[in-house]
Amino acid sequence: MNVTQKLSHGAKALLDGSAAFAHTQALWRFLRNDQIDLPKLAQPLLALAHEEVPKVCDTYALVMHDWSRLNFHRHTSKTDKVQMTHATDVGYELQSSLLVSDRDGQPITAPAQNLVSADGMLQTRHAKVQSEQAHLDELSERIAWLEQQEFGKPLLHIVDREADSVAHLRHWSERGCQWLVRVKAGSLVSVDGKSVKPSDLAPSLNYTQTRAVLYHGQSAIQEVGQAQVVLTRKAKPKKIAANGKRVVPVPGAPLPVRLVVSRVYLKGRCVAEWFILTNLPASIPAGRIALWYYYRWNIESFFKTLKSAGLQLESWQQETAQAVARRLLIATQACALAWRLMRQQTAEADEARTFLVRLAGRQMKRTRPVTLTALMGGIFSLLTMLEALKHYSIEQLEAFAQTLLQPQLE
pLDDT tens-digit map of 314-365: 988 899 999 999 999 999 999 999 999 999 999 999 999 999 999 888 888 8
Nearest residue to 159 (alpha-carbon basis) of 96, 69, 216: 96
Going through 102-139 in order, the beta strands assigned E by DSSP cover 107-117, 120-123, 126-130
Check residue 8 and give its pLDDT. Answer: 45
User: Domain for residue 53, yes or no?
Assistant: yes
235: DSSP letter: B
**Rg (Cα) of the chain, in Å, rounded?**
24
User: Domain for residue 276, yes or no?
Assistant: yes
Domain residues for 107? 34-238+248-317
Q: Residue count of the chain, please give it.
A: 410
Asked whether 166 and 249 are in contact (CB, 8 A), the reply is: no
User: Domain for residue 15, yes or no?
Assistant: no
Tens-place pLDDT, residues 26-73 = 888 888 888 889 999 999 999 999 999 999 999 999 999 999 999 999
Distance separating alpha carbons of residues 304 and 138, to the nearest angstrom: 23
Residue 14 in this model has a pLDDT that exceeds 70: no
Regarding predicted confidence, which is higher, 10 or 14?
Answer: 14
Distance separating alpha carbons of residues 313 and 304, to the nearest angstrom: 10
Asked whether 96 and 110 are in contact (CB, 8 A), the reply is: yes
Regarding predicted confidence, which is higher, 195 or 213?
Answer: 195
How far does CA 105 lie from the centroid of its chain? 12
Distances (CA, A) of 329 to 41, 113, 288, 335, 408: 7, 9, 32, 10, 47
Q: Domain of 70: which CATH number?
A: 3.90.350.10
Asked whether 124 and 329 are in contact (CB, 8 A), the reply is: yes
Least confident of 116-120, 125-129, 189-193, 361-365: 361-365
Q: Strand 178-182 relative to strand 155-159: parallel, antiparallel, unpaired?
A: parallel
Query: What's the domain count of the chain?
Result: 1
Residue 19 in this model has a pLDDT that exceeds 70: no
Nearest residue to 60 (alpha-carbon basis) of 345, 278, 309, 355: 278
Q: Of all helices (H) and strands (E), which one includes residue 270?
A: strand 269-278
Distance separating alpha carbons of residues 232 and 296, to the nearest angstrom: 27
